[in-house]
Structure 1
Amino acid sequence: MLDKIAYYTVKSLRFPTDIFFQRRYGCRAMMLETVAAVPGMVGGMLLHLRSLRRFEQSGGWIRALLEEAENERMHLMTFMEVAQPRWYERALVIAVQGVFFNAYFFGYLISPKFAHRVVGYLEEEAVHSYTEFLKDLDDGKIDNVPAPAIAIDYWRLPANATLKDVVTVVRADEAHHRDVNHFASDVYYQGMQLKATPAPIGYH
């Protein structure tokens, strides 16, 4: 039941996003990454505090979740170089982040299994959106401009890398986030704590 609620919650969020951004994938990515960078930070923070309270190890999950948050933040910094968001899109980002942070914080306190499942489905939507982004790049609907310097440095891309190369590596990151969060939810589903299961390796 929790998995179904998580699934349909995420699906219901896609509809207004599609209406608002339509096929403006640069700005859509900016919105996605602003929200996507929250769960890792919240989950990592709460696991960190629990580790301190209980004097126990985390199995590497604190680092894994904080790495996820930093990785998503770098996605945002990259797409800020590509897209020039309008003032109302920036305002929407602030509002959505404020609501999502608090909702996810309380959701994680109540059910980490549900929280990680929501993120897993969010990342599935991100993979889908970046796949559509790549299709538009291939079809020439979006200019395949040179990759921003911040992306070349972060992902160690060739000096002549393009936006398509950036979207490809970002989509791979999102697929990894998806798998990590579904795995974390499965661990809780089996009645275990994350500390009992080693965390997956890093992102790049």
Structure 2
Amino acid sequence: MICFPYSPVLDYSLSSILQVYITAIPARFHCISTFKTRKKMNRFVVRSVMRGLINGRSYCSGSSSGSSSGHAYRSAIVGRSLQLSGQHNGVTFGGFEWRRMMSSAPASVEKATSEREEKTEKSAEEETKGKEVVTSSYWGISRPKITREDGTAWPWNCFMPWETYRTDLSIDLKKHHEPKNFTDKFAYRTVKILRIPTDIFFQRRYGCRAMMLETVAAVPGMVGGMLLHLKSLRKFQQSGGWIKALLEEAENERMHLMTMIELVQPKWYERLLVLTVQGVFFNAFFVLYLLSPKLAHRIVGYLEEEAIHSYTEYLKDIESGKIENVPAPSIAIDYWRLPKDATLKDVIIVIRADEAHHRDVNHFASDIHFQGKELREAPAPLGYH
């Protein structure tokens, strides 16, 4: 830490000026602790001394009764060399007032430094933007302008207008696959057991329950599609459209989750539960699908039946007024092509219909395996949404 002393000086010579800065015995002193301010101050004093060496021989060699201009110049040098902080301390010698100009020098230095840094950051940002533009134009990758049917700009990157659809609401919601053999009964009982802790934890908080349900329901389609994809590559066989069907199912379930997140703000422990359940379920279902695809699809079919039941109870609470029928999120309106004045009830109705389609597809896939056939031998259903 460098200390800059203050002391009255009787001699106006250059040696006295240097002595003020270096060796004078201080009566009062002020310490500047920051490195940038010390550096700026040192440069300032050196410039003042060099300016005196170049232009000030007259005031060094002249008598003590030199001209008033010489005295003023010498006073200015000493005064400027002592501009260290925000105070004014003055002593008068023979008609001359020597002032320790403690004005806004550090503040001005800091301001100039911050302005310089801002300019540097702006230039760096402009340079980065320029590079991004060059890179995009070099690779020839650019997104065309996409609009809605009414001509307004399309706001979403997670899905495109041609991926939207209107859900078939005429599907039978009461269909149920009766367990007939050991595999069916095992799948049915497994799903019923898994529902018990869910009912205890969420009770009738169907928004949070739906969030948890969708994080699990989006896993089977991804696992099944991935394993069928690898099997197709390994055996040089077509999949009969099942890879795309299962991956689209996973994407559809993910969009359910993105919609529910707009309506429900999960607590930290619910997020932790999602993380745990997803990690366990993904690995368990992956192993299960490798061992028995027919059991895996049957379990998913029963899970979708439970999802239909949960969304039906959700609708009952909305209709009874226990849950507020808020306006539908904009992402749901665009994804399901709902009217602009759609509400939460409309969103739950279309999501429940999607779950019914997923139920039918997975029970159908399990039936194919029970017949001793592969999925590619029975083409995947079209428009299963």
Residues 86-117 of structure 1: CA deviation (Å, up to 9, x unaligned): 00000000000000000000000000000000
Aligned position for 1:122: 303
Residues 46-97 of structure 1: CA deviation (Å, up to 9, x unaligned): 0000000011110000000000000000000000000111000000000000
Secondary structure of residue in 2 paired with 1:201: coil
- 1:15, 1:176 → 2: CA distance? 24
Aligned position for 2:256: 75
Aligned position for 1:158: 339
Letter in 2 for 1:118: I
1:178 aligns with 2:359: yes
What's the TM-score, normalizing by structure 2? 0.53
Aligned position for 1:102: 283
Aligned position for 2:208: 27
**Alpha-carbon distance, 1:174 to partner:** 0.2
Secondary structure of residue in 2 paired with 1:159: coil
- 1:201, 1:93 → 2: CA distance? 31
- 1:114, 1:173 → 2: CA distance? 22
- 1:203, 1:83 → 2: CA distance? 27
- 1:25, 1:202 → 2: CA distance? 28
Larger Rg: 2
1:190 aligns with 2:355: no
Runs of 4+ deviating beyond 2 Å: none
Structure with a larger share of its residues in helix: 1
Aligned residues: 204
Pairwise CA RMSD of aligned residues? Answer: 0.6
Aligned position for 2:188: 7
Residues 23-68 of structure 1: CA deviation (Å, up to 9, x unaligned): 1111100000000000000000000000000111100000000000
- 1:201, 1:18 → 2: CA distance? 34
Letter in 2 for 1:111: S
- 2:232, 2:187 → 1: CA distance? 27
Q: Which runs of 5+ in 2 are unaligned?
A: 1-181
Q: Is the 8 A contact 2:361 2:384 kept in 1?
A: no
1:199 aligns with 2:199: no
Q: Is the 8 A contact 1:44 1:66 kept in 2?
A: yes
What's the TM-score, normalizing by structure 1? 0.99
- 2:296, 2:243 → 1: CA distance? 15
- 1:189, 1:167 → 2: CA distance? 33
Aligned position for 2:232: 51
Letter in 1 for 2:240: G
- 1:203, 1:28 → 2: CA distance? 24
- 2:242, 2:236 → 1: CA distance? 15
Q: Which runs of 5+ in 1 are unaligned?
A: none
Select the structure with the greater relative contact order (CA < 8 A; seq sep ≥ 6).
Answer: 1
- 2:255, 2:198 → 1: CA distance? 21
Q: Is the 8 A contact 2:228 2:243 kept in 1?
A: yes
**Alpha-carbon distance, 1:201 to partner:** 1.4
Letter in 1 for 2:375: L
**Alpha-carbon distance, 1:203 to partner:** 4.3
Q: Is the 8 A contact 1:64 1:202 kept in 2?
A: no
- 2:345, 2:381 → 1: CA distance? 27
- 1:7, 1:142 → 2: CA distance? 30
Letter in 1 for 2:373: M
- 1:100, 1:10 → 2: CA distance? 13
Q: 1:136 aligns with which of 317, 320, 341?
A: 317
Seq. identity, %: 78
Aligned position for 2:274: 93
Letter in 2 for 1:97: Q
**Alpha-carbon distance, 1:202 to partner:** 3.2
Q: Is the 8 A contact 1:37 1:68 kept in 2?
A: yes
- 2:193, 2:283 → 1: CA distance? 19
